[in-house]
Amino acid sequence: MQQHLQQARQLIADARRVVALTGAGISAESGIRTFRDPGGLWRNFRPEDLATPEAFKRDPVTVWEWYQWRRQLIAAASPNAGHLALVRLQQRQGLTLITQNVDGLHDRAGSTGILKLHGDIWTLRCTACGHAWHDETHTFAALPPPCERCGAMARPGVVWFGEALPEVVFRQAAEAAAAADLFLVIGTSAVVFPAASLIRQRKNCTVMEINIERTAATSNADLALRGPAGEILPQLVMD
Ligand code: OAD
């Protein structure tokens, strides 16, 4: 492992265009549950009941209750050493940060220009007029909350199963991935598409995975570091 860490440190230091794709695993050490690990959200809840446009149409209050619960848990959490190491890396040599996470912990850590493939749990969007806005309310007066502009029903500003990813964001992510000479895959099971399609072996680009276990991305990785992101990442970017 020490040898791998040394090699990884060098690869990062030498890289010119670093891209990182993060998943729920990077927030695990902040106490936020992942989706597919033991104890993960999709082990206890059915995505089709809570994270699809059909579920919201059927029962918006239940869907909103679930999102409000998650907003409260996330609000009580803090960015961890993994999030902070990515801030350090961005400040030191530049980094395009692509995330599947909606928790906003990368923002709170201080990363900038984050490409959020699956939206943001702190954004609300009107189902009628389309207005979107940032809202950090922990407990809404009523569920579903109303649009701040027109008063119609608002929805969480996240991407649900069966919905398209934000087009511009995905294009920017794909362009950054195509131009990268180092692609870090951090804390994701890499089974949700199209996000996982960004992870590809290409000439002139090293793919480095950081995860506590083997994933669908491992076979595409030139180097796989096994361990918690909050422990490994700080070791990779220390001066
Ligand atoms: P998953 O729950 O599928 O995977 C979490 C990954 O994090 C697993 O590979 C774990 O091994 C790894 N992991 C757990 N703790 C870790 C730690 N401390 N350090 C490093 N790795 C750790 O979560 P995602 O891959 O993010 O989509 O899931 C992708 C998408 O599926 C999510 O964005 C969400 C979900 O449905 C939407 O909400 C649209």
Query: pLDDT per residue over 182-234, tens digit each?
Result: 999 999 999 999 999 999 888 899 999 999 999 999 999 999 999 999 999 99
Taking the centre of ligand 1 as the mean of its atom positions, its distance from the CA of residue 36, in whole angstroms, is 7
Q: Tokens in use for 155?
A: 């929805």
Which residues are catalytically annotated?
A: 118
* Pocket perturbation via mutation, ligand 1, pick of 102, 170, 188 by most ligand atoms within 8 A of CB: 188
How many residues are there in the chain?
A: 239
pLDDT reported for residue 189: 98
Taking the centre of ligand 1 as the mean of its atom positions, its distance from the CA of residue 190, in whole angstroms, is 8
Query: How far lies 133's CA from each of 6, 146, 182, in Å?
Result: 43, 12, 34
Which parts of 175-235 are beta strand (E)?
182-186, 206-211, 223-226
| Interval 118-145: pLDDT, tens | 999 999 999 999 999 999 999 999 999 9
pLDDT reported for residue 239: 74
Which parts of the chain are beta strand (E)?
18-22, 96-99, 115-116, 119-126, 132-134, 154-158, 182-186, 206-211, 223-226
**Hey, whose CA ends up nearest to atom 31 of ligand 1?**
192
Mean pLDDT of 49-54: 95
Q: Are 102 and 118 in contact (CB under 8 A)?
A: yes
CA distance 77 to 154: 25
pLDDT reported for residue 237: 95
Taking the centre of ligand 1 as the mean of its atom positions, its distance from the CA of residue 129, in whole angstroms, is 32
More confident residue, 47 or 163: 163
For ligand 1, say whether the CB of 25 is within 6 Å of any of its atoms.
yes
Mean pLDDT of 138-159: 97
Could you give the angle at which helices 2-14 and 229-237 cross, rounded to 10 degrees?
A: 60
Taking the centre of ligand 1 as the mean of its atom positions, its distance from the CA of residue 33, in whole angstroms, is 9
- Tally Cβ neighbours within 10 Å of residue 44: 8
pLDDT reported for residue 21: 98
User: Given the structure tokens 């959200």, which residue do they identify?
Assistant: 41
| Interval 88-120: pLDDT, tens | 999 999 999 999 999 999 999 999 999 999 999
pTM here is 0.97
User: Given the structure tokens 């709170």, which residue do they identify?
Assistant: 108
What does the mean pLDDT of the chain come to? 96
For ligand 1, say whether the CB of 99 is within 6 Å of any of its atoms.
no
Nearest to 236 by CA among 86, 114, 18: 86
